Amino acid sequence: MTDSPDDQHGGDASGSAAREDQVSAAARLAAVRAAITRSAVEEGRDPAEVTLVAVSKTFDAEAIRPLLDAGQRVFGENRVQEAKEKWPALRQDYPDVRLHLIGPLQTNKVREAVALFNAIHSLDRASLARELAKERARRGGDPLPELFIQINTGEETQKAGVVPQSADSFIRECREEHGLEIAGLMCIPPVDEPPSPHFALLAEIAKRNGIKQLSMGMSGDFEQAVMLGATYVRVGSALFGSRAYAV
């Protein structure tokens, strides 16, 4: 059976759209990577020290594939359940993907998160630290995902994270009481304030606690974050475009 002209035209159109998506994804990815490189070089840093986390929350697998095909391999998700729904299938095709949880983690989701993610950026309270330590013991001491403590640098009441004045004691508690290895710190500056002072504060807390990794900077400010020491930048809209949130 031969295709009708309409079928043929539809196939050409869908194929053309897919190619355009791929080209635009590759172009956006190249632009973000170039900006990271420029910012790092300007500060005398090696651009290879900075890992781009493509924030794929709310985007489905078909929106993610063009970036995967363009070579991006580190992605960030906000919710365990959403990641469970789309990433196992994607990882069958792209087994070298590394997945980071960048949103809040409930204690009852720890086991699922540990099984799914390579890094967790939102360790922010003692109860979560205890649950992570229990999960490590349950796994026979197998390593946990890389753990980042979220610091609420703006001390915003509506936002998760450890306030700066409690950061040192919480880091010590995680290490000494719960035996957790802390890979890095993460922050989300207030939207109505310049981000650089918050990035500098996070870097200062990390330095005095012997922590090397800094997760900071998003689409609107990742270049400033790189210049202030970020090792992970979490970029969404600059790669994927605007998100459509359910009302």
**Which of these, 243, 236, 242, 244, lies nearest to 32 by C-alpha position?**
236
Please determine, for residue 47, whether its predicted confidence score (pLDDT) is greater than 90.
Answer: yes
Token pair belonging to 10: 């539809």
CA 241, CA 111: separation in Å to the nearest integer?
A: 32
Cβ burial, residue 158 (10 Å; 0-12/13-18/19+): exposed
Q: 127 with 109: CB under 8 angstroms? A: no
Strands (E) located in the chain: 51-55, 74-77, 98-101, 119-123, 146-150, 182-186, 213-215, 232-235
- Contacts of residue 142, defined as CB under 8 A and 6 or more positions apart, other chains included, come to 136
Other C-beta atoms closer than 10 Å to the C-beta of 133 total 17
Please determine, for residue 243, whether its predicted confidence score (pLDDT) is greater than 80.
Answer: no
Res 241: pLDDT:
84
CA atoms within 13 A on the CB side of 235: 30
Q: What would the pLDDT profile of 185-196 be if each residue is shown by its tens digit?
A: 999 999 999 999
CA 152, CA 122: separation in Å to the nearest integer?
A: 11
Q: 221 with 188: CB under 8 angstroms? A: no
Please determine, for residue 83, whether its predicted confidence score (pLDDT) is greater than 60.
Answer: yes
Q: What would the pLDDT profile of 145-180 be if each residue is shown by its tens digit?
A: 999 999 999 999 999 999 999 999 999 999 999 999
Please determine, for residue 95, whether its predicted confidence score (pLDDT) is greater than 50.
Answer: yes
Q: Label residue 38 left, alpha or beta by phi (over 0 means left) and psi (-120 to 50 means alpha).
A: alpha
Q: What would the pLDDT profile of 203-225 be if each residue is shown by its tens digit?
A: 999 999 999 999 999 999 999 99
- Please state the domain extents for the chain: 5-240
Domain 5-240: give its CATH architecture: Alpha-Beta Barrel (3.20)
